[in-house]
Amino acid sequence: MMKGKIAVTPRSLSQGGHPALAPLEQAGYELIFPAPGQQPSLEQLAQVLPDCVGYLAGVEPIPAEVLKQCPHLKVISRNGVGVDNIDLEAARASGIVVEKAAGSNARGVAELAIALMLAGLRSIPWSDKQLKAGKWDRQQGIEIRGRTLGVIGCGQIGKDVVDIALGLGMKARAYDLYPDPVFAPQGDFAFVSLPELLGQADIISLHAPPSGQPLIDAGAINQMKEGAFLVNTARAGLVDEAALLAALDNGKLRGFATDVFASEPPELTSLLQHYRVIITPHIGGFTEESIARATETAVSNLLRVMG
C-alpha cells in the first residue's frame, strides 16, 4: 500500500534512478519529479506539493504562498546545508519540519574553492579562451606555496579548505563568530579577527552563512592586500558586486571567482563578464560523492520524520 507522495526536485536527482532514492520507494512512497533536470518553477511546485507528504528539496525558492497550499506536507528535507531558500516561518506555522544534510557536500565545495584559487592565480580560464581564439598570449601567475589563505566562516567546509591549503604549503588564517577550540590542524594556522584576516590574506575564501549585509563591501576591500584574490562558494549576498567590480577595474583585487548567484541561471552582469572573474554554475556540491552523501542523509531525514 502506498504511504504517500514525495516530491524530488534537486537537479542532480530529478530525472530519477539515483540508487540513494531507492529506500523511499522500498518504504512505500511514490516519487514525483516536477521538473526533471531543471529547477522547478513556483507553478510546478504548486501543482504537485499539495498532494505530497514529503519533499526532497533543492535550491529553488519555497515561499509561504506555496507552503500554505500543502495540508499534507510533513517535512522538507534539503540535500544540502542551505535553507535560506525556504520560508522557515511559514513552514513552522504549517507544522512542516525542515531538515538539512549538514556536512554532506563539504569536501566537494572545499575542493572547488581550492581549484578556483589555482585557476585564478594561474589565469587558466583566460589562457584557455585566448589560445582557442588563436592568440598566443600569457599572464604571469603566482605560486600558492607560502601564501596566506584567509577563510571567512570555519565550519566543516572552511575546515576542509584549511586542511587542503596547509597541505599545499600555505599559511591559513580563519575568522568565525564561534571558533571551534578543538580545531587545531598541523601547520601555520590561527583564528584571527576579521580585520586581521583581511589585512594578511593573499587569497580569501568565503564560507559564511547568509548575512543581512555584504561581508565584503568597499570598506572590507580597502582593508585587503593589494592584489588579493577572492573566492565565493557560499552565498552571493556576501559580496557587494559594485564594490567588487570597482576593485577589479582599479587593480586592488587580482581576481574573483564565484560558484553562487542571487538567481540561477544568473544575469550576466558587468562583474560576471569581467575578464578577471571566473564563474561556475553552482557545482560545489555537484560531485558523485557529495550527491550520494547528501541524498542518503536527506532520504534518512525524510524517513525518520515521516516514521
Model confidence over 199-252: pLDDT tens digits? Answer: 999 999 999 988 889 999 999 999 999 999 999 999 999 999 999 999 999 999
CA torsion sign, 64 to 71 to 34 to 287?
Answer: positive
List pLDDT tens digits, range 145-187: 999 999 999 999 999 999 999 999 999 999 999 999 999 999 9
Separation of alpha carbons 286 and 288, rounded Å: 7
Share of the chain above pLDDT 70, in %: 100
pTM given for the model: 0.89
State residue 264's pLDDT score. Answer: 86
Active site annotation includes 72: no
pLDDT tens digits, one per residue of 242-292: 999 999 999 999 999 999 999 889 999 999 999 999 999 999 999 999 999
User: Residue 265: is the preceding peptide bond cis (ω within 30°)?
Assistant: yes
Known catalytic residue at 226: no
- The one catalytic residue in 147, 173, 276, 282 is 282
SS3 (DSSP) at 163? helix
The question of whether 264 is a catalytic residue gets the answer yes
In the predicted model, what is the mean pLDDT of the chain? 96
For residues 112 and 170, what is the distance between their CA atoms, to the nearest angstrom? 17
Helical ranges in the chain per DSSP H:
22-26, 42-48, 64-67, 88-93, 106-121, 124-132, 156-167, 194-200, 218-223, 241-249, 288-306
3-class DSSP assignment, residue 241: helix
Choose, from 107, 235, 254, 293, the residue flagged as catalytic.
Answer: 235
Nearest-angstrom CA–CA distance, 299 and 114: 29
Give the H or E element holding residue 143.
none
Which of 30, 111, 196, 264 is labelled catalytic? 264
According to the model, what pLDDT value does residue 26 have?
A: 95
